[in-house]
Structure 1
């Protein structure tokens, strides 16, 4: 009897933790895997802080899409692995490694909840020195 209660409590706690976790939209991960700025733009907010090549700029969604397209054109993507993702209050993040023909890059993508949707407000891409 005690075993059943413990298993039931563990299942309940696991279910609650899964419900409480705010997942990164799968389309964001897919966009990085494909190197698709168009797919990524579907998840961008009206203003995005981009940090590319060590340069930070605050741009609108359209300019962010163009900048990401230029990055993906210069660095043909061969894969993307999620290293860590998490949530805090109304924001979430994903940290991953982007494999390209010109080397690997660390990607930090930050999202915040806006009208029940998770939208990207910052993308930071840094070259990994191997």
Structure 2
């Protein structure tokens, strides 16, 4: 807000003083003020091409040649083999996931709880704290 007030009050250069380096207004170019050559080249490149509609008379009128039948068949066989390999890996992954779901995780959970309890007891002993109250089992 302060910058706008100072600029509006007639500070030398107005807000142009705060513009980032290389910031060029098109009005400045029209007035003939010096511009960095890199910026001038970038402006010319942007103004030079692009846009417009394609000239349809210059478009190809023939369909490009396709892939030969033997090569197309070979590609089809490669894709079918890759698909079969992917199907096999998906089936193996699903079987492994089903086997994991069949097994019980309670023994692992109980082993981890016991390990945590022992670690907690050792830490309390090192720090001189009283033993933790036993966990309430439902």
TM class by shorter chain equals: under 0.3
**Hey, which of these two has a bigger chunk of strand by percent?**
1
Query: TM-score, normalization: structure 1?
Result: 0.26
**Hey, which of these two has a bigger chunk of helix by percent?**
2
Higher relative contact order (CA 8 A, sep 6+): 1
Query: TM-score, normalization: structure 2?
Result: 0.24
